[in-house]
């Protein structure tokens, strides 16, 4: 187990090195959002790699973006402009928030990767949005076929669906282990495994994650304060360590860097493109999408109940409007059902100060178990 986690750790510490090596044998398409149709990218002959910027010193991107743009878009642009992403052959942008949309425009104007955009529907609750989703996925598939001068057959697409379903199933199994046996694995390690799945060759990842599942020791479920994380992207192991060092366990999340990446498998019956659209529509949505006014509040209440949580920690990237807009209603809803919560804003993935640490520790101290 130690050896496997050592390998995961080294990939997560140096994701660009792993991808540069992989780029010697196949084309790589970067993407940043969980709405990317990985199966189409994979069947189209690219390795889909989720790029979460690494730079902690932002300078080049300041020429293009205001300092109040979120750290996700600023670091992604910084890494691109400083040529750390030169191993990429293409980048796919998904229309989620305004910042991401603007980043797509800057990439198109300033960078030489092959550029793809998927203009996603905003509402997921109508028949026309489903039809539109199918159309844009078909269109993306056609563009890839043209680009690669290949035909993506139904068989090939089904093969890729099977691969990514296996990858997601392993992540879901690991999360279920964590919820049932919170001491079997730390959330810091779990988060590293999820992050590795963004980067690695999917078959290699399935192998490695299957070994983790096989070798994990199911520690007895001692008493612990059960926490749910909710927000955007957080891959900061220090935050998770601080929470879990305080007689608390993170038993589930509703994060772009967590369950929103892998919840819901693709149905393997019927037309594959329709099944892919269906998965995106059924999967828990992020705050840039709409099903009905209470959807995200009900979802939060559901996971609190399913995982018997004592408290919620909202982890937002500073200046992220979509998550901030949802927050007041989420907070009120939790107050009504008697679940304590705290909001932590993260400026950059490398910044986790003493004040934030103290706030987290105090919050956990006051939680009942
Ligand atoms: S963190 Fe928020 S503002 Fe930044 S890319 Fe994600 S949704 Fe957009």
The overall pTM is greater than 0.85: yes
Q: Which residue has the CA at smallest separation from atom 1 of ligand 1?
A: 320
To test the pocket of ligand 1, the residue of 35, 52, 68, 73 to mutate (highest count of ligand atoms within 8 Å of its CB) is 73
Average pLDDT over residues 267-272: 93
Helix (H, G, I), strand (E, B) or coil at 164: helix
pLDDT reported for residue 245: 86
DSSP label at residue 267:
P
- Residue ranges of domains in the chain, CATH in brackets: 15-152 (3.40.50.11890)
Return mean pLDDT, the chain: 93
Percent of the chain at pLDDT > 90 equals 83
Lowest mean pLDDT among 172-181, 217-226, 270-279: 217-226
Q: Which atom from ligand 1 is nearest to the alpha carbon of 233?
A: 1
State the DSSP H helix or E strand holding residue 243, giving kind and residue range, or none if neither.
helix 237-244
Cα 217 from Cα 237, distance rounded (Å): 21
Among 67, 61, 168, CA closest to 107 = 61
Q: Which ligand 1 atom sits nearest the alpha carbon of residue 317?
A: 1
From the CA of 308, how far away is ligand 1's center (Å)?
29
- 70 alpha carbon to ligand 1 midpoint, in Å? 6
CA 348 – ligand 1 centroid, Å? 12
Mutate to test the pocket of ligand 1, among 261, 285, 317, 347 (most ligand atoms within 8 A of CB): 317
What is the CA(148)–ligand 1 centre distance, in A?
A: 31
pLDDT by residue (tens digit) across 7-36?
999 999 999 999 999 999 999 999 999 999
48 C-alpha vs ligand 1 centroid, how far in Å? 20
How far is Cα 322 from Cα 171, in angstroms, rounded to an integer?
26
Instruction: Give CA separation, 123 vs 214, 218, 282, 287, in Å.
Output: 40, 41, 12, 11
Q: Whose CA is nearest to atom 2 of ligand 1?
A: 320
User: Can you tell me the distance from the alpha carbon of 197 to that of 168, in angstroms, rounded to the nearest whole number?
Assistant: 9
Helix (H) or strand (E) holding 18: helix 15-22
Q: Which residues contact 170 (CB under 8 A, 6 or more apart)?
A: 205, 206, 209, 210, 213
Q: What is the distance, to the nearest Å, from the Cα of residue 6 to the centroid of all Cα atoms in its chain?
A: 22
What would the pLDDT profile of 68-126 be if each residue is shown by its tens digit?
A: 899 899 999 999 999 999 999 999 999 999 999 999 999 999 888 899 999 999 999 99
Asked if 184 and 249 count as a contact pair (C-beta separation under 8 A), the reply is no
pLDDT band with cut points at 50, 70 and 90 for residue 194: very high
The Cα 357–Cα 340 span in angstroms is 17
pLDDT at 350 exceeding the cut of 60: no
User: How many angstroms separate the alpha carbon of residue 337 from the centre of ligand 1?
Assistant: 28
- pLDDT digits 0-9 by tens, 282-339: 999 999 999 999 999 999 999 999 999 999 999 999 999 999 999 999 999 999 999 9
**Residue 327 CB neighbours (<10 A):** 17
Report pLDDT for 53.
Answer: 82
Q: Identify which of 199, 144, 201 has the alpha carbon closest to the alpha carbon of residue 9.
A: 199
The best mutation among 61, 95, 96, 97 to test binding of ligand 1, ranked by most ligand atoms within 8 Å of the C-beta, falls on 97
**Is residue 221 pLDDT above 80, yes or no?**
no
The rounded Å distance from CA 92 to ligand 1 centre is: 16
Ligand 1 pocket, CB under 6 A: 70, 72-73, 96-97, 99-100, 232, 288, 317, 320, 322-323
């Amino acid at each position: 187990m130690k050896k496997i986690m050592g390998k995961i750790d080294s990939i997560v510490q140096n994701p660009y090195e792993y991808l540069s090596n992989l780029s010697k044998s196949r084309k790589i398409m970067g993407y940043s959002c969980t709405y990317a149709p990985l199966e189409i990218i994979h069947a189209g002959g690219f390795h889909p790699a989720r790029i979460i910027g690494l730079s902690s010193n932002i300078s080049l991107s300041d020429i293009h973006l205001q300092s109040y743009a979120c750290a996700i878009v600023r670091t992604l642009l910084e890494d691109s402009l400083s040529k750390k992403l030169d191993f990429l052959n293409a980048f796919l942008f998904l229309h989620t928030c305004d910042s991401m949309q603007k980043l797509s425009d800057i990439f198109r104007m300033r960078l030489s990767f092959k550029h793809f955009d998927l203009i996603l529907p905003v509402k997921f609750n109508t028949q026309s949005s489903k039809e539109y989703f199918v159309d844009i996925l078909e269109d993306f598939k056609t563009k890839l076929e043209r680009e690669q001068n290949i035909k993506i057959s139904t068989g090939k697409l089904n093969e890729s669906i099977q691969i990514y379903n296996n990858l997601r199933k392993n992540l879901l199994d690991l999360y279920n282990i964590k919820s049932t046996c919170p001491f079997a694995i730390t959330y810091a390690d779990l988060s590293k495994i999820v992050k590795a799945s963004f980067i690695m060759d999917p078959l290699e990842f399935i192998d490695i994650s299957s070994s983790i599942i096989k070798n994990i020791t199911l520690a007895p479920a001692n008493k612990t304060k059960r926490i749910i994380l909710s927000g955007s992207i957080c891959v900061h192991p220090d935050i998770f360590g601080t929470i879990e060092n305080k007689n608390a366990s993170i038993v589930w999340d509703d994060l772009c860097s967590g369950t929103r990446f892998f919840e819901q498998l693709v149905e393997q019956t019927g037309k594959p493109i329709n099944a892919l659209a269906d998965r995106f529509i059924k999967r828990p949505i992020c705050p840039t999408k709409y099903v009905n006014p209470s959807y995200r509040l009900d979802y939060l209440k559901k996971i609190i109940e399913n995982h018997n949580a004592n408290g919620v920690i909202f982890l937002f990237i500073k200046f992220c409007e979509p998550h901030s807009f949802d927050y007041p209603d989420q907070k009120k809803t939790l107050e009504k059902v008697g679940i304590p919560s705290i909001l932590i804003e993260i400026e950059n993935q490398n910044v986790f100060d003493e004040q934030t640490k103290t706030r987290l520790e105090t919050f956990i101290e006051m939680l009942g178990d």
